[in-house]
């Protein structure tokens, strides 16, 4: 038996000659493949729906080691498998990321939680605090944790495009002790960094925006330049976004900004496309063009070329408008084209969440 208590293997479950994971597992566990009739039927149905017969190749995907449990895969032809050997879990999952995630979210994580709950009276409760608009080192200075403060608990600083996420791991010898420990850490932490907290969970910013707009029954339109649709695509990742998202215009040149967003050519000349004035006009005009309650605009220099001394690569103006209020903000990012675009989108969502408060 392996030394680790939980092992997750991905890949090698496809129908081609290089897919040997199941053979290796049979070899390791001294097991043999048997047909899972439910999965065979699922494959036959799926192929029939496409007007095809189940091929011999794909039929082999319904055979799994006899000592494993089949884990349902909503999206692919290969099921996941789980071995439970004397309380040790060995997962074998498809390598296609979405299929792997689907199986883990459906049943995999629950199997792990069950294992942990069954074998342990000690408890660790995790809680996330998503911050934004403050670098990791300044956040650490604000929090200023003393030597023995954490004890057996932990506090992790996890930076990403969304900002720095704090992950508290509160330890206790029972669940209620862990809960007390979490309160103790939160009571110390939160007042110190309140201004920078965006949310207390893992919800994407687009999800938070979605919930706010649906509650307010308001609509949104977007004018994007350097991010070229990335904000629109990110906000519409959320099912049901058609309730509040009306659409957007990607205006990649001054010509199009003039023609489709009704931006005055003289103003474009005077202020430059990347300016407070143009950003504000874009957010107001897009709101009027789409007849939406809110307008958001982004105009900036994602690079690698196009920067100047006054407006280096990474200079971005964003604006958010309603009928009453026009907000704008200058952002400055370093990094690659990708990073600048992605950070712009995340920061714009943060500003919009604040705007909706």
Task: Please give the residue ranges that form the binding site for a second copy (CB under 8 A).
Answer: 14-19, 55, 57-58, 75, 96, 98, 102, 136-138, 140-141, 145, 154-157, 159-160, 222, 224, 227-233, 235-237, 239-242, 245-253, 255-256, 260, 289-290, 303-305, 334-339, 341
Least distance in Å: CB of 188 to a second copy? 14
Phi and psi angles of residue 184, each rounded to the nearest 5 degrees, phi first: -60, -45
Smallest distance, a second copy to C-beta of residue 194, A: 19
**Of 208, 206, 260, nearest in space to 233 by CA:** 206
Torsion of CA 176, 179, 180, 185, to 10 degrees: 160
H or E segment and range at residue 27: helix 21-29
Evaluate the CA torsion angle 286, 288, 292, 296 in order and state its sign: positive
Q: Which is nearer to a second copy, 89 or 319 (CB)?
A: 319
CB of 149 to a second copy, least distance (A): 10
Which residue, 83 or 294, has its beta carbon nearer to a second copy? 294
Q: What is the smallest separation between the CB atom of 258 and a second copy, expressed in angstroms?
A: 12
How far apart are CB 75 and a second copy at their closest, in Å? 5
Closest distance to a second copy from the beta carbon of 121 (Å): 26
- Cβ 19 to a second copy shortest distance, Å: 8
For a second copy, give the closer residue by CB, 200 or 252: 252
Cα gap 320→322, rounded to integer Å: 7
Torsion of CA 24, 27, 32, 33, to 10 degrees: 0
* CB closer to a second copy out of 85 and 105: 105
Among candidates 167, 233, 243, which has minimal Cα distance to 206? Answer: 233
Q: How far apart are CA 164 and CA 114, in angstroms?
A: 30
Measured from the CB atom, the residue of 35 and 136 that comes closer to a second copy is 136
Residue among 74 and 85 whose Cβ is closer to a second copy? 74
Nearer to a second copy, 178 or 226 (CB): 226
| Cβ proximity of 64 and 81 under 8 Å | yes
The first and second tokens of residue 269, run together, are 């000349």
The 8 Å CB, 24+ separation contacts for 40-43 are: 43/77
């Amino acid at each position: 038996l392996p030394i680790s208590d939980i092992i997750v293997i991905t890949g090698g479950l496809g129908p081609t000659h290089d897919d040997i994971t199941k053979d290796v597992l049979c070899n390791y566990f001294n097991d043999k493949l048997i047909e899972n009739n439910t999965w065979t039927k699922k494959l036959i149905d799926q192929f029939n729906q496409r007007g095809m017969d189940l091929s011999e190749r794909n039929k082999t995907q319904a055979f799994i080691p006899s000592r494993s449990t089949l884990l349902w895969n909503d999206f692919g032809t290969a099921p996941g498998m789980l071995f439970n050997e004397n309380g040790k879990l060995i997962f074998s999952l498809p390598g296609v990321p979405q299929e792997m995630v689907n199986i883990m979210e459906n049943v995999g994580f629950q199997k792990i939680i069950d294992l942990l709950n069954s074998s342990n009276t000690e408890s660790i409760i995790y809680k996330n605090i998503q911050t934004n608009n403050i670098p990791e080192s300044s956040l650490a200075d604000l929090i200023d944790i003393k030597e023995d403060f954490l004890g057996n608990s932990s506090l992790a600083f996890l930076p990403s495009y969304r900002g720095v996420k704090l992950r508290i791991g509160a330890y206790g010898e029972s669940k209620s002790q862990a809960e007390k420990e979490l309160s103790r850490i939160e009571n110390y932490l939160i007042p110190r960094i309140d201004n920078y907290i965006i949310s207390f969970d893992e919800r994407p910013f687009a999800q938070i925006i979605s919930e706010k707009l649906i509650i307010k029954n308001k609509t949104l339109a977007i004018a994007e330049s350097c991010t070229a649709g990335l904000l629109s695509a990110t906000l519409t990742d959320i099912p049901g976004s058609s309730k509040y998202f009306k659409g957007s215009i990607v205006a990649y040149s001054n010509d199009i900004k003039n023609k489709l967003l009704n931006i005055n050519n003289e103003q474009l000349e005077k202020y430059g496309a990347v300016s407070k004035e143009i950003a504000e006009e874009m957010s107001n005009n897009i709101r009027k063009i789409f007849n939406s309650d809110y307008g958001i605009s982004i105009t900036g220099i994602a690079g690698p070329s196009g920067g100047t001394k006054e407006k280096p690569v990474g200079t971005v103006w964003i604006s958010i408008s309603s009928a009453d209020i026009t907000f704008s903000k200058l952002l400055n990012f370093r990094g690659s084209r990708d990073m600048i675009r992605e950070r712009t989108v995340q920061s714009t969502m943060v500003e919009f969440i604040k705007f909706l408060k």
